Structure 1
Amino acid sequence: MSSITKRVLSQLSLVILTLVILAILFFVGIYLGYVVVGKGDSSEAFKPATWQHILDFVK
């Protein structure tokens, strides 16, 4: 492989790793915010009906 290809692959892997870490932190934040801060039930943290209710409330 040429050095340019290696650099592009290296940068692309860093971008993908960053996106994966951000996604994980997003879901951890949802869980902590709903369960710990909001005192909600942990089984309902990711149910679509819960988030539809929240979106309806915000609108």
Structure 2
Amino acid sequence: MKMTGKKILSQLTLVLICLAFLVILFFVGIFIGYVFLGKGHPSEAFNVANFQHIMDFIK
């Protein structure tokens, strides 16, 4: 089965769009979980100290 350059490019574009969508959904989920479910302040949702606290909790 021979793939043309156009088909490879379209498949690669589709994969990149899906990855970008997943990353966006990941950050939206963090924001919703921290602000609405955790009752945190919106400006602190992506604070590095919060992620460090989570990593320390996991270890």
Question: Fold-level match, TM-score > 0.5?
Answer: yes
Q: Distance in 1 between matches of 2:58 and 2:37?
A: 18
Equivalent position of 1:28 in the other structure: 28
Q: 2:47 & 2:53 partners in 1: Cα distance?
A: 10
- Partner in structure 1 of residue 11 of structure 2: 11
In structure 2, C-alpha distance between the alignment counterparts of 1:6 and 1:58, rounded to whole Å? 44
Identity value in percent: 58
Number of aligned pairs? 57
SS of equivalent residue, structure 2 residue 40: coil
Write the deviation string for residues 6-26 of structure 1: whole angstroms up to 9, x where unpaired: 100000000000011011000
TM-score by length of 1: 0.87
In structure 2, list runs of 5 or more residues that go unmatched. none
- Once the two structures are TM-superposed, the CA of residue 56 in structure 1 deviates from its matched residue by 1.5
**TM-score, structure 2 as length reference:** 0.87
